[in-house]
Amino acid sequence: MTHRACRGKRIRRVAGSVGVNSADPQVETVVDLDAVAHNVRILRERAGGAAMMAVVKADAYNHGAVPVARAVLAAGAAELGVTTISEALELRAAGITAPVLTWLNTCDADYAAAITADIEIGVSSADQLRAVEKAARSTGTTAIVTLKVDTGLNRNGVSPEEYPQVLTLLRQLVDEGVVRFRAMFTHFAHADQPDHPVIDKQRDRFVAAVETAAEYGLKPELVHLSNSAATLTRPDLAFDMVRPGIAIYGLSPVHEISDFGLRPAMTFRARVALVKRVARGEGVSYGHEWIAPHATTVALLPAGYADGVPRGVGGRIEVRIGDARYPNVGRVCMDQMVVDLGENPAGVQEGDSAVLFGGAPGDPHAQDWADLMHTIHYEIVCFPRGRVVRTFTGGAGIE
């Protein structure tokens, strides 16, 4: 029952903080690029004839932006979406030439670098558009601009009050050749509730915003508004392109309805560092919140809250070792956690792999942690960090 990392698959490791040269890291996330490609194919089928922009922001939801970007493009995605310019530049530095949209930047961001790298810039205000204008004039290069319209989420996006001012300025800049007006988009507030009336209200506001732009002589090359949930449940909203994020990574945005055949791409696991007996009545971990009700065997895992295992799940989660699941007992510490093996009939030993969450049959799921913490699985897959080494499997031929 020794540790065998995805035997039969190509394995590539990327540095966390330490241990990157270890053949078998103590704690790692394993990202299955074949699962990513599978999920892209499902989303493309749901999108019908619409193109697909794959969202790889936040280091591809903590899955690794560059390898995931290559995988989604190979699977048929046409474009990539990120939040910041620095995220977009990372993709360009890796040699990725596909269209990339960045849509969350302050007015003093390095728009010149984005323009020079042929990165599409989403703007949400007149001030941002002026900042893009200044950078375009300074570089002597036409900026590619997309308007993000606020249709009711009330985060970023051009507000209804400022919209006429933005359109007037954009018209001027297009006429001067300072910018190229490529697209318009918005973002839903209730897409994870497919029948919510606000979805249709936002669609109608978005269509009206596109029509208003046309009154200024501004016709976008494409429009898009569907995130993962809308892509999977509202084909009527596909428009020219869909823009899924979380579903690419195999997690359903409306899990109460279905998993849609998606395959979770991330497995978070640690190797057993120690197996030992604990006598009846002895406490385990800080504060002795768990007292052994009888003599038992425990396994120590070198993963704690510094690695992305929240302290708040202590004593409430299970891990899978081999074909069995075992409960975590006692507090999660900074560097380690303990699981109860009972009489250890499976013979768990040092070096064995313990899955904290993953996507294989029998694995605990990221949604299990989310339910315990009253949060969403988006946050859970962003937890692994620090010393965690990221490992990639699958994705043959996309290097």
3-state secondary structure the chain: CCCCCCCCCCEEEECCCCCCCCCCCCEEEEEEHHHHHHHHHHHHHHCCCCEEEEECHHHHHHCCHHHHHHHHHHCCCCEEEECCHHHHHHHHHCCCCCCEEECCCCCCCCHHHHHHCCCEEEECCHHHHHHHHHHHHHHCCCEEEEEEECCCCCCCCECCCCHHHHHHHHHHHHHHCCEEEEEEECCCCCCCCCCCHHHHHHHHHHHHHHHHHHHCCCCCCEEEEECHHHHHHCHHHCCCEECCCHHHHCCCCCCCCCCCCCCCCEEEEEECCEEEEECCCCEECHHHCEECCCCEEEEEECCCCCCCCCHHHCCCCEEEECCEEEEEECCCCCCCEEEEEECCCCCCCCCCEEEEECCCCCCCCHHHHHHHHCCCHHHHHCCCCCCCEEEEECCCCCC
Confidence (pTM)? 0.93
**pLDDT the model gives residue 225:** 97
Residue 157 pLDDT exceeds 80: yes
What's the average model confidence in pLDDT over 160-175? 98
**pLDDT the model gives residue 12:** 62
Structure tokens at 256: 């109460």
Q: How confident is the model at residue 353 (pLDDT cuts 50, 70, 90)?
A: very high
**pLDDT the model gives residue 13:** 61
Structure confidence by residue, pLDDT tens digits, 386-395:
999 999 999 8
Q: How many CB atoms lie within 10 A of CB 194?
A: 16
What's the average model confidence in pLDDT over 159-184? 98
**pLDDT the model gives residue 255:** 86
Q: How confident is the model at residue 16 (pLDDT cuts 50, 70, 90)?
A: very low
Structure tokens at 156: 């970023």
Question: Which residues are designated catalytic?
Answer: 57, 286
Contact 378, 227 (CB under 8 A): no
**pLDDT the model gives residue 5:** 40
Homologous superfamily, domain 266-393: Lyase, Ornithine Decarboxylase; Chain A, domain 1 (2.40.37.10)
What's the average model confidence in pLDDT over 94-104? 98
Q: How confident is the model at residue 23 (pLDDT cuts 50, 70, 90)?
A: low
Q: How confident is the model at residue 2 (pLDDT cuts 50, 70, 90)?
A: very low
**pLDDT the model gives residue 339:** 98
Residue 11 pLDDT exceeds 90: no
Would you list the domain boundaries of the chain? 33-249, 266-393
Please indicate if the annotation marks 334 as binding a ligand.
yes
**pLDDT the model gives residue 105:** 97
**pLDDT the model gives residue 15:** 43
Quick one: what percent of the chain has pLDDT higher than 90?
92
Please indicate if the annotation marks 155 as binding a ligand.
yes
Residue 17 pLDDT exceeds 50: no
User: How many CA atoms are closer than 13 Å to the CA of 209, on its beta-carbon side?
Assistant: 30
What value does the mean pLDDT of the chain take? 94
Q: How many CB atoms lie within 10 A of CB 328?
A: 23
* Cα-based distances in Å from 387 to 209, 228, 249: 47, 30, 22
What's the average model confidence in pLDDT over 193-203? 96
* Cα-based distances in Å from 195 to 211, 234, 251, 317: 25, 9, 20, 33
Give the CATH number of domain 33-249; options: 3.20.20.10, 3.50.50.60, 3.90.79.10, 3.40.718.10.
Answer: 3.20.20.10
Structure confidence by residue, pLDDT tens digits, 306-348:
999 999 999 999 999 999 999 999 999 999 999 999 999 999 9
Structure confidence by residue, pLDDT tens digits, 59-73:
999 999 999 999 999
Residue 18 pLDDT exceeds 50: no
* Rounded CA separation 148/57 (Å): 16
Residue 288 pLDDT exceeds 80: yes
Residue 4 pLDDT exceeds 60: no
**pLDDT the model gives residue 396:** 80
Give the dihedral sign, CA 245/250/254/258: positive
